[in-house]
Structure 1
């Protein structure tokens, strides 16, 4: 990763490239983090179902919609960007491997202790991604601040902005 503390020695184009690279990393982390969060929400819903005594059935589309409709995160104030994450991306593979190891696909048949382990492992994964994401936001913000400063101090060449 580019040393954002040394932006003074970087050209404006290099700062834009570094910021775009960090934004791409953040896109991946955000996507995979939300997938982990969604899976954790489903596991927590299974725990609630057991406490409520609701009979077990297969997980339906409406079950998933209900779970995701209940959980509300803080979200980001940043504008959304198109996200295309490959199933071969190492972070995506890491989440899928974790889900296999903890038997996420068998939520309804897990004993209570194993189900709690699913919730804990997915929560831990999601929190670690959230921490990484916040660090990336700080770096992206620092690069953006430097770009704004340069645009104000040096003026903006519209053609160079449109080339990005």
Structure 2
């Protein structure tokens, strides 16, 4: 399993503006994160289509919480609605994504966390609070970094942002 960090800068203006605000606040090129499941992670039965293989499309199964992504039809709740915890295939081009290996992580437990929370609402209150002012955390809503940290089993996932999650993942490698 890997942690994918979004460092791309070419998006539609409404997405790009949000990413820019996150980057400025963090003083980091990272604005979003995903957990990436690879074919050898032994999580095939937990993937929505029963496959972790990317051979045909080059896209790997990724899991996170996105503000604008539609919740897939196979989700138990909120299918078709925008924003929230989801799993989807993504082509992770080197020009837009930095990847960190997570040999210490339990891919199976992370995939199970995402399947159990799929469709949970996006944490708009938390993301705006993280950018602008301190706002109490809502335990039932998830931003990308909170979802990834929780799925990895890290304590107090609401205390992470994309850059600090990347730093924690790199630290675990040393």
TM-score w.r.t. the length of structure 1 is 0.30
Structure having the higher strand fraction is 2
Provide the TM-score with structure 2 as the length reference: 0.29
More helix per residue: 1
Larger relative contact order, structure 1 or 2 (CA cutoff 8 Å, min sep 6): 1
Larger Rg: 1
